[in-house]
Amino acid sequence: MQEPSNSSPIDEAARIVVKLRDKTSFYGDSRFVAIAIDRGADGTLLASALTGRRFGLPVLPSYRIFSMLCDDRAKRCVDGGLTLDGCAVLPERYLRLWRNAIQAAITPAELAATHGLRLVARLAGPLEKLHGKKAIWSNSPFPTFDDFHAAYAQQCVLSGEEFRLDLDFRQPDAPRDALLGEGFLDDLKDDGCVVVDLTVQAVCEQRRPPLASAQKQLAFGQAEGNHVIPA
C-alpha cells in the first residue's frame, strides 16, 4: 500500500479502480480499491493501492477514496507536487479523472485479464494472542479466530508461534475474509509481528498487457510487494 508522503514528488501515469463484489463489507455498501501507477525518477512504473491510514486494508467506499485524494494527491497538484505524465494538472481535473475511473471500475478478474495484475492481502500475527478471539461482527461466518484459521489452514504459513496468510482478491470471498481477518488483528496493530497489507502483484512473469493511459506496452515481472513495472 502507498501511504501519503509530504516530500516526494509524484508523477502519475495511470489509475485503475477495482470494484469488489457485493457484501464484501458487512455495512452493505460498495467497496473499491484505488490503484495508482506512478513513474519514478528513473522511469520505472510502480503500481500500488492507495491508502490514507497506517493500519488497515484500503478497501473503501467511493466517498472515502475522494476524501483520501483530496487530503493528499489533489493538494499536491496546486504547487506541482503531483503531475500527470510530467505535465501540470489542476486539482479539479485530477479528481475528475479519478471519478471517471470509479465509474469505469473493473473486477479483480478483469484487472488480471486486462492489466496482468492482481490484488493480494497479507495478514500475519501471533497465534497465541489470537486463540479464542471473537469476531467483531455477530453475523461473521467465523465466530472466532480459530474458525478463521481452520478455514484457511492449508493456505497459512506457520513460523513458530506466528502465522501468515495471503488472500488473492480474484477468489470470490477473499476481500470479505481479508476484512474479517483484519478485524481479529486490529487491537494488536502495535505488535511488531502483525501485518495487514494489500499489494499489487503481477499475475505471471510473461504477461505484457497494455495500460491504456500509459500509451505503450508494459512488461510485467514478479514482485513480492507493490508491483514494479519496468519501462
Tell me the pLDDT band of 2, cut-offs 50, 70 and 90: low
Please write the tens of the pLDDT for every residue from 62-75. 999 999 999 999 99
Is the C-alpha dihedral spanning 94, 95, 97, 101 positive or negative?
positive
- Whether the pLDDT of residue 41 is over 70: the answer is yes
User: Average pLDDT of the chain?
Assistant: 87
- The pLDDT assigned to 53 comes to 83
CA gap 10, 80 in Å, rounded: 9
Binning pLDDT at 50, 70 and 90, where does residue 26 land?
confident
Task: Quickly count: other Cβ atoms within 10 Å of residue 211's Cβ.
Answer: 22
Set of cell numbers at residue 76:
499536491
Nearest to residue 25, comparing CAs of 211, 209, 215, 178? 178
Alpha carbon distance 11, 68 (integer Å): 17
Where residue 4 falls among pLDDT bands split at 50, 70, 90?
Answer: low
Query: Which grid cell is 62?
Result: 467511493
User: For domain 118-201, which CATH number applies: 3.40.30, 3.30.70, 3.40.50, 3.30.720?
Assistant: 3.30.70
Chain segment 87-114, per-residue pLDDT in tens: 999 999 999 999 999 999 999 999 999 9
What residue segments make up the domains of the chain, in order of their start? 10-116+204-229, 118-201
pLDDT for the residue 204: 77
Contact yes or no for 59/53 (Cβ under 8 A): no
